[in-house]
Amino acid sequence: MAQVLEALLERNREWSAQIRAESPDYFDGLAEQQSPEFLWIGCSDSRVPANVISGLAPGEVFVHRNVANVVHSSDMNLLSVLEFAVDTLKVRQIIVCGHYGCGGVRAATEEDMPHGLADHWLEPIRRLAKRHAHELARIEDDEMRRDRLAELNVLESVARVAETPILRRAWAKGEFPLLHGLIYGIRDGVLRNLDCTISGADAR
């Protein structure tokens, strides 16, 4: 186990040295301040790193991730990140991003398989599946049905973020951010816009 950690630290040292060789002032610039354009609310899945798939550099995106990118109105972690991003960092864009092939969405649809605490966390997705049962039942392929549920989960999460007092206050002042919903395809690496952008004008 110690060898695994040491290998990780060695990769970090190599990465740091390479960055400093290419751009000697790189880390000085990062250390000065944090002023990202984006807040990213995404899934914890290790295959969906926000900076990498969006092509954004460190410092350009503030990130919150959880299992299946669920937005719970009582999640103090997410709400603290959202409040800091909007009130202090003054982000201008908020992205809720799900992905196809999401293990959390799959788990939410497996009624006969216990997943421990994850079952409580994923309860909003199960409710969402019941609410859209008629639409989902028309999709014969299991994977395509789950992928559609992943899209619906993003749309629902966007709506929940828009309802928070944090965004309502910012929008009442005529401030940003814009709120978007995206879905990522693990098989092709492409981000897709779900065309559910909400602005302060839409919320009035």
Distance CA 25, CA 29 (A): 6
Is 192 annotated in the active site?
Answer: no
What are phi and psi for residue 10, nearest 5 degrees?
-65, -40
Q: Which of 11, 20, 28, 47 is catalytic?
A: 47
Catalytic pick among 64, 97, 99, 148: 99
Going by C-beta distance under 8 Å and a sequence separation of 6 or more, which residues neighbour residue 41? 64, 65, 69, 71, 78, 82, 94, 95, 96, 97, 157, 161
Q: Which of 188, 166, 190 is nearest to 177 (CA)?
A: 166
One-letter-per-residue 3-state SS of 11-51: HHHHHHHHHHHHCCCHHHHHHHCCCCCEEEEEECCCCCCHH
Question: Does the annotation count 47 as an active-site position?
Answer: yes
- At 166 the three-state DSSP class reads helix
Known catalytic residue at 97: no
Whether 102 sits among the annotated catalytic residues: the reply is yes
Structure tokens belonging to residue 43: 């899934």
Annotate 31-44 with b (16+ C-beta within 10 A) or e (fewer). Answer: eeeeebbbbbbbbe
Residue from 102, 147, 148, 180 carrying the catalytic annotation: 102
* From 43, 97, 180, 196, active-site residue: 43
The answer to whether 195 is a known catalytic residue is no
Q: Count other C-beta atoms under 10 Å from residue 57's C-beta.
A: 11
**Residue numbers annotated as active site:** 43, 45, 47, 99, 102
